[in-house]
Chain A
Amino acid sequence: MITKILSFSIKTKITFTIFLIILFLSGGIIYTVKNSLTKNIKSSSVNIVKELVGVNETFIIKSLLEDDYWSIYNVLKSLSNLDIIKSIGVIDDKDKVVAHTNTKKYHIYQNFDLQDFKGIKIPLSSDNVRLGTCVVEINNDALGYLFKDMDKQIYIYIIILALISFVLAYFISERILKRLNILSYNAKCIQEGKLDKVIQYKSIEKDEISMFQESMEIILKQLNISIDNEQKLKTFYHEILKGLNELIVITDKKFSLKYQNDHPFKNIILKENRFKSGILVKIKEHISNNTNRFVLHLEVLGKGIIYLYVIIEKIGEMYSFSFTDITKLKNLEEKEQLANSFEIIGEISSSVVHEIKNHLQPVKLLVEQESLDMEDHRRIVDIIAKIDALVNDFLSVGKPIDKNLSEYIDINLAIKDYLFLFANEMKSKNILLCKEYGVNLKVLMGNYDYELIIANLIKNAIEASPKNGKMFIKTYKKDEYKVFQITNEGKPIDKDTIKNISKPFFTTKKRGSGLGLYITYKIVYLYGGFIEVTSRESKTSFNIYLP
């Protein structure tokens, strides 16, 4: 029931509440007035009856004395025609009924118990002699008769009050609802961002709704200012983003386009508010591999291959993508690499030639001898072996990396394989190996290239380690890089050496070609990684960062 009432409209609720209040108030007032009047009329009616009997007293007494009971009865009958009198009778001085209008109950000469009688008793006396008593029962319903006209008026008043209350309630609820509707409409406009459609309403009322309305207007003004500021800020950022060389793309987690700045590559990367399918595949691939930085090369008609450096950032439930055109940089790098290559080739060539010449000098002296003993022979073979190793390293330097054969390699597995291969060397030097492998560390590169890096670094570390020294191997992830760290104990490397360590033919070893670390650096660099070398006290660490 209460739920049903609560589900009514505000207009209905207000209308009925006011109606009921007015109805109960008016009903209460009418009841009180009627009650008060009833009491007064009761006492008045007793007086009226006494006066009526008083008027007829002389005639009744005369008839009583003349034994004319029929005349008495007729008088009583006439009086009982008044609604106020329920019944009326005359009792003689011996308390016997003379006449009574209630003929069913009271008969002539019947004894009448005056003491028990609850009605009005009016003595009939002449010359101070009591001749009888007039007994009257008041008709309580007669009061209703007296109120008959008043009842009609009451109903009319109630109907008028009800109508007034309805009109009043309707007017009040209409005023309230009109303002509430405006508030509701304004709130909807604000929600939908249609601030220009918000209605300004000045009400004559000064109630809670008006106060709320005024507050809303203030909030609206502040909101307008904020939105204006935000718009300006947005424009400001847009201008900044427009001025950027990068293409900035913002998508939701389903890669649906939310924002992109104006950039010439927009049409190359995007199509109908989404990434082009091929690009999206690559993006998803990198995201699943947790690589948020990568180079994307695309073949564009009329432009050839373009290189884009992509940075992916996850911001809450959104992705932001930054595409930087590094085609020119790549081209410059290639040119520089080529120049460097020529320089290196020149340097290497002169070094190799110089080395080979250095080796060949003693061979020449030995060969110019008339006879060669075994020692000479052994020395010549040794020198030729050195020249052969030199040439092999040189060939390795020249060998390009093969990205086309790239595959995802678990870096821990390759490390474990090479540690097994170098087990004898470590055993002969009694090196204590400490390992700490990270999990799920995979790099995309050629298997041979990776093995070459690992083999070079493990070999160098074993060679640099003193007898009974310790060697530490650790793999872990740092940012978007997978890191292979190898540390050995031993004499620390000075700063100058660290500076030149990546240069070809730079070696501190008696029998090294000086190309091992150079090849390592070259492979790591070509796969987009880098190498950090630290040497403190008695520990030297090589940290290989691979994307």
Chain B
Amino acid sequence: MCFKNVFTQNGQKLTILFQKLTTILFLSSIFLFASANKNRLVLGLTGVVLKEDIASIIKLKLYLEKETHLNIAFKFVKSYAEIKTLLLDKSINFAYICGSTYVDLESSNEIELLVLPTIDKKPYYYSLIITQKNSLYKSLYDLKGKVFAISDPESNSGSLVPQYKIYKKGYNFKNFFKKIIVTYDHGESIDAVLSGYVEGASVDSVVYRAFVYKNPKKAKRLKVINMFGPYPIPPFVIRKDTSTVIKKELINAFLNMSKNKDGKKILKSLAIDSFIKPGNISYQKIRDIKYYLNIKENRNDN
């Protein structure tokens, strides 16, 4: 009896202990899962980066992970329209997007500027019109009736600027070119010119700079016939609902890139000098272009 009681008492104690341990393990796993989920960020990338430079992008990911202790994944998105959707539905936490995309997302009030790349210490870039070096074209307007490549239809430098310039010159963009080839990527637009498939293309000066840095021989076969700008540079944006700590960590990591060896290497390969805080940069210029083009398109539709 005595033994039975002893066993019964001890069994109850063990059951209580087991229940406590199970509870602790369950709660800690939830905590770990929650904390892991919380620190996982997705970086969205579009044609504003040179996709062929995947090694540099991975290095950037690793750099940010190292500096912020965050778990960062990156996702390439084909079109600017798609990345807008992904940012708004929170599939992507932060992204490197075109200025025109930022202008479109501004009104949603869910996105804010994170950092801005600088070229020659300034957060501005250009829209370049390129052709093959041996071509006779001297300006964008010489390409009338030719095949022309644009990156994304919503890209500022890759599509909006040439449209704007053509309209401004008095032409109708819709029938200015024989055929417009949409490559969805500044790098591929450069390839389209090099292959001869198109006679000209409009590309981002930052991407073009990165391409020249990476492919100096191929670059010799190209020439820039127009350089439109400067325009506010494509920014890194982040969802506003991202924790301030993470935002801070990310900003610091970006800002410190030009100050350490690994960061400098990555910046060089991306053809960027450094990252700066957005400050009071204005994307009004792009906004104006978009406004102008909307009016033109509406007229054309009517």
**Interface, chain A (partner B; CB < 8 A):** 68-70, 73-74, 77, 99, 103-104, 107-109
Is A108's CB under 8 angstroms from B179's CB? yes
A109 touches B182 (CB 8 A): no
23 cross-chain CB contacts under 8 A: A68-B182, A69-B179, A69-B181, A70-B181, A70-B182, A70-B183, A70-B184, A70-B188, A70-B192, A70-B197, A73-B181, A73-B192, A73-B195, A74-B188, A77-B195, A103-B195, A104-B196, A108-B147, A108-B178, A108-B179, A108-B181, A108-B197, A109-B179
Q: Which residues of B contact A (CB under 8 A)?
A: 147, 149, 178-179, 181-184, 188, 192, 195-197
**What residues on A are CB-neighbors of B184 within 8 Å?**
70
Report whether B147 and A70 are in contact in the complex, using a CB–CB cutoff of 8 Å: no
- The minimal Cβ–Cβ distance linking A74 to chain B, given in whole angstroms, is 8
User: Which residues of chain B have C-beta atoms less than 8 A from A70's C-beta?
Assistant: 149, 181-184, 188, 192, 197
Q: How far is the CA of A77 from the CA of B183 in the complex (A)?
A: 14
4 A-B pairs with least C-beta separation: A103-B196, A70-B183, A108-B147, A70-B181
**With the chains together, A99 CA to B197 CA distance in Å?**
8
Bound Cα distance A99, B181 (Å) = 11
Complex: A103 Cα to B147 Cα, angstroms = 12
Most buried by A among B178, B182, B184, B197: B197
Q: Within 8 Å CB of A99, what residues of B?
A: 197
> Residue on A with the closest CB to B184?
A70
How distant is B148 from chain A, measured CB to nearest CB, in Å?
Answer: 10
A468 to B178 Cα, complex, angstroms: 159
Residue of B nearest to A74 (CB): B188
Tell me which residues across on chain A come within 8 A of B147, comparing CB atoms.
107-108
In the bound complex, what is the Cα–Cα distance between A109 and B147 (angstroms)?
10
Complex Cα spacing A164 to B140, Å: 70
Closest Cβ–Cβ distance, residue B175 to chain A (whole Å): 13
Assess the A103–B197 pair: CB atoms within 8 A. Answer: yes
Chain A min CB distance to B158 (Å): 13
Across the interface, which residues of A come within 8 angstroms of B183, CB to CB? 70
Q: By CB atoms of chain B within 10 A, which of A69, A70, A73, A108 has the most?
A: A70
Q: How far is the CA of A109 from the CA of B197 in the complex (A)?
A: 12
Bound together, the chains give a CA A349 to CA B196 distance in angstroms of: 161
When distances are taken between beta carbons in the complex, the residues of chain B under 8 Å from A74 are: 188
Report the minimum CB–CB distance from B153 to chain A (whole Å).
12
Cα distance A107–B145 in the bound complex, in angstroms: 12
A68→B149 CA distance, assembly (Å): 12
The CA-CA distance from A104 to B182 in the complex, in Å, is 20
The interface residues of chain B lying within 8 Å CB-to-CB of A69 are 179, 181
CB-nearest residue of chain A to B178? A109
Q: Which residues of A contact B195 (CB under 8 A)?
A: 73, 77, 103
User: What's the minimum C-beta distance from B241 to chain A, rounded to whole angstroms?
Assistant: 35
Given contacts A70-B149, A73-B195, A108-B178, 13 further A-B contacts (CB under 8 A): A68-B182, A69-B179, A69-B181, A70-B183, A70-B184, A70-B188, A99-B197, A103-B195, A103-B197, A107-B147, A108-B197, A109-B178, A109-B179
Say how far A30's CB is from chain B's closest CB, in angstroms.
Answer: 40
B147's nearest neighbour on chain A, judged by CB, is: A108
Q: Which residue of A lies closest to B149 (CB)?
A: A70
A485 to B192, CA, bound (A): 140
CA A69 to CA B179, docked complex, whole Å: 10
Residues of B close to A68: CB separation below 8 A: 182
How many Å lie between the Cα of A74 and that of B182 in the bound state? 12
A267–chain B nearest beta-carbon distance, Å: 112
Query: What distance in Å separates the Cβ of A217 from its nearest Cβ neighbour in chain B?
Result: 82
The residues of A that contact B197 with a CB separation of less than 8 Å are: 70, 73, 99, 103, 108
Q: Give, as a whole number of angstroms, the nearest-CB distance from A424 to chain B.
A: 146
